[in-house]
Structures are given as C-alpha cells and as structure tokens.
Amino acid sequence: MFAPAQEQLLHIRRGTAEIIPEEELEVKLEASRQANRPLVVKLGCDPSRPDLHLGHAVVLRKLRQFQDLGHQAVLIVGDFTGMIGDASGQSKTRPALTLEETRQHGASYFAQASRILDPSRTRIVYNSEWLGPMQFGDVVRLAMKTTVARILNRDDFASRYAQDEPIGLHELLYPLAQAQDSVAIKADIELGGTDQKFNLLMGRTIQKACGQPQQICITLPILEGLDGREKMSKSLDNYIGLTEAPEEMYGKLLSIPDTLIYRYFELATDADTRDLPRLKGEAAVQPRDTKHRLAAMITRMYHGEAAARSARTHFERTVIRKEVPDDIPSYRPAPTGNGTIGLLTLLTQAGLTSSNGAARRLVQQGAVRLDGERVHDSRLEIDLAARTPFVVRVGKRRFARIIR
C-alpha cells in the first residue's frame, strides 16, 4: 500500500526548508509501511485570518502530498488558541474572537483549503475540544514541562522583549497550547512555515514529556509577497488570495519582480520537479514570457484552463493596450432635479472614489476619463439625458458604465 520509504522521502524533501530530524522520518516511514498504518500529519491553522493566499498554499500543498502518499492529514482549527490571540511573527496582540466566530472562520478556512487538499481524506478537529476542558492544574502541569528561558528563546519574544514591546503573559502559553495539540492527536509529523519552527519543536518536547513518540517537524519556506521583499501576508497587502478572481490573480502575478519568477514556480505551482531547472534558466533569459506562463499556470490551478486563458486576454487588453474591459459594473445615478449630476458626486456615488475630495484630486491629476476622454474640470456638470450611457474610468483599473 505504501511506497518504499526512500521513494516517499524523495517527494517529501522537495521544497522543504528543514526536516527535523530527517533520519527519524525515514524510520517512521518504514515502520508505517511495515505496519500498513498511515502516519498522522498535522497542520494547525489560524482561524483569526480566514483568507488564504499563495503563501498558505505552500504548506497546504505539502500536506496534500502526504495525502497522496497515503497518510492521514489532520487539520487543526485553532479555535481555542484563536481566542487567546497571537501567532508567530505577529508583534501585536490579536483581537480575541468568540468561539462562534472562530468556528465560522474554521469552516471558511477548510472550504478554501479544499482547493488544494483532498477533503474526503482530511480530518478536521477543533482544539477547543481538548484545550477548553483543561483545569488550571492541568495548565500548570503543562507549563512545568518547559522553562521560561526556553520560551523566551523564541525569536519573536526575544526581539519584542529587547525592544520593550509588550508581551502578554498568555502569549507565552501559545507554544504550549500548540504543543498540546500534537499530544492530543498523537501527531507523527507536523508541518509549518519556517516561522513555526519553535512551536513545532515545542511539540516534540511536550510529547516526550508526556511519554509519547516525538513528531517530525517539517518546515517550509515562507513565500515572498508581490513586493519581493516581505513575506506574503494579508496585512501587508502583497498577497494573492486563493479565491481571488482569475484576472486579479493573473495581473498580480505579472507584477512580481523578475527575480521571484523561479521561486514561485518552485513553491507555488504544480510544475513537474524535472522541469524546474529548465524554468529557472528561462526565467533568467526571457522573464516576460516565463512570467506569463507562471501567471497562466497558477491561475489555471485555481480556476481552470478557460479562466486562465481569458485572464490573459483581459490583461493584454486592459493593461497592455489600455482598453476598457468587457465586464464592468453599471451604475445608475439617483435622479436629480434638473437631470444633471456633478462629476465629483458621480464618481463618489458610483464607488469609484472614496470621497469628493479624493475625486477632486484625481480629476486634477488627470486620472479621470469619460468615454476615454480625459477630464480636467472638477466642477463639470454632466447632462445625464444627453450623455448616458457612457464609461467612466479612474486610473488604470477602476471603471463604471453609467446608465439611466
């Protein structure tokens, strides 16, 4: 039923940052094969941020790989830890969510993750199930299994402490809570980004202290965002959401720096491993075409062939040739007394600008066009009866068809 350990390892190693410890993984794989028992592969998800993007996809794809190798994927929805706050790398305490909210987010997370995982072979558990009933005494006994120095060792805590930034006491418990998850489900392997290394290792520590076999920690690289510098994240707005419209995906992918093209092929696509070296060469020699192929490939993975094709057409049309796209929203202005409407009012009402002030500035900067013609007069009154229908454009990407 299971492939030989060495063969499995070949797939597992691809694209990972670290496997700790690798020899032990081989032993586990071999044992699982002999006993014909799948390994329990754990991935924790943070329901406080329910919008998944390509960065999350890196680790989800790895989990999918384990499923394809016949192992058991367990997705842990951190509904309890979500109420506490915190996750690695966040330097601010997060707003506490109610159990109800985290449940909803968990469901939404799973729906999105199902674009990558095989949902029929994914076990979903909520960690409030075991963390919720714990008594204070249980928590104290758990806390006894590690030391303050060890916890403060975590990068995130260390730097915040050094910079005199606040660290809530409860935040120190977060790694312990996550480790307890591993104990609860008897994880054989835990996946996470490299920023999760500390928490994953804490799982090993606590499992050992509880007399359990220790999990293997597998970390995956953090995908850079569209800016090419910071990690992809929603709060930095440099991300591509898994559920984003194909046109958005395609356009955003073309905006990444050329140096990131290969990186995305490696971590975010299903490109064949054997093709990777070739793609690396092409990315260097003909960045434009290779980037289009990257954009098409990723868009296809999430939206299918047809959508990817039309996304390309859309891009060539609106960005390269600066034409008006097919499907733009229509807006029917509220009737006015004399049948005319001020330009600024129209822009704001149609949702193209956030305020009249913003609209005024954009007009002054030459960003506003009516049927392709640039407008400079912010006091312009438009005669609706005479002009409609017409197309309003703000900047490169905001359009509305004004109808009556």
Partner RNA sequence: GGGCAGGUACCCAAGCGGUCAACGGGGGCAGACUGUAAAUCUGCUGGCUAAGCCUUCGGAGGUUCGAAUCCUUCCCUGCCCA
Number of residues binding to RNA, judged by CB under 7 A: 47
Instruction: Name the residue among 283, 280, 225, 214 with its Cα closest to residue 253.
Output: 225
Please say which residue, 185 or 368, places its beta carbon nearer to RNA: 368
Distance (Å, rounded) from C-alpha 198 to C-alpha 209? 17
User: Is 358 one of the binding residues for RNA (CB under 7 A)?
Assistant: yes
Residue 319 lies near RNA (rule: CB under 7 A): yes
Amino acid identity of residue 197, one-letter, is: K
Residue whose CB is less far from RNA, 55 or 78: 55
Q: Which of these ranges, 31-39, 144-152, 272-280, 350-358, lies near RNA under the rule CB under 7 A?
A: 350-358
Q: Does 243 bind RNA (CB under 7 A)?
A: no
Calculate the alpha carbon distances from 148 to 92, 152, 169, 247 in Å.
20, 6, 11, 49
17-25, 36-44, 246-254, 383-391 -> range binding RNA (CB under 7 A): 246-254
Can you tell me which of 320, 334, 385, 386 binds RNA, judged by CB under 7 A?
320
Min separation Cβ 109 and RNA, Å: 25
State yes or no: residue 277 binds RNA (CB under 7 A): no
Q: Work out whether 362 is an interface residue with RNA (CB under 7 A).
A: yes
Asked if residues 187 and 130 have their Cβ atoms less than 8 Å apart, the reply is no
CB atoms within 10 A of CB 19: 18
- Span 145-184, contacts to RNA by CB under 7 A: 161, 164-167
Q: Rounded to a whole number, what is the distance in angstroms from the first to the last CA of the chain?
A: 66
Q: Minimum distance between the CB of residue 349 and RNA, rounded to whole angstroms?
A: 10
344 binds RNA (CB under 7 A): yes
Contact 271, 297 (CB under 8 A): yes
37 CA to centre of own chain: 32
Beta strand 189-193 pairing with 216-220: parallel
Structure tokens at 136: 């204070």
Select the residue interacting with RNA from 4, 277, 281, 366 (CB under 7 A): 366
Judge contact between 36 and 5, C-beta under 8 A: no
Mask: binding to RNA, 251-270, rule CB under 7 A, as x and -?
xx-xx-xx------------
Q: Which phi and psi (to 5°) does residue 18 adopt?
A: -145, 150
Q: Among 70, 213, 241, 342, which residue sits at the site for RNA (rule: CB under 7 A)?
A: 342
Alpha helices in 223-304 (DSSP H): 246-254, 261-268, 276-285, 287-303
With binding defined as CB under 7 A, does residue 227 bind RNA?
Answer: yes
Which positions touch RNA (CB under 7 A)?
Answer: 161, 164-167, 227-228, 237-238, 247-248, 250-252, 254-255, 257-258, 287-288, 291, 315, 319-320, 341-342, 344-345, 348, 354-358, 360-362, 365-367, 379, 381, 394-398
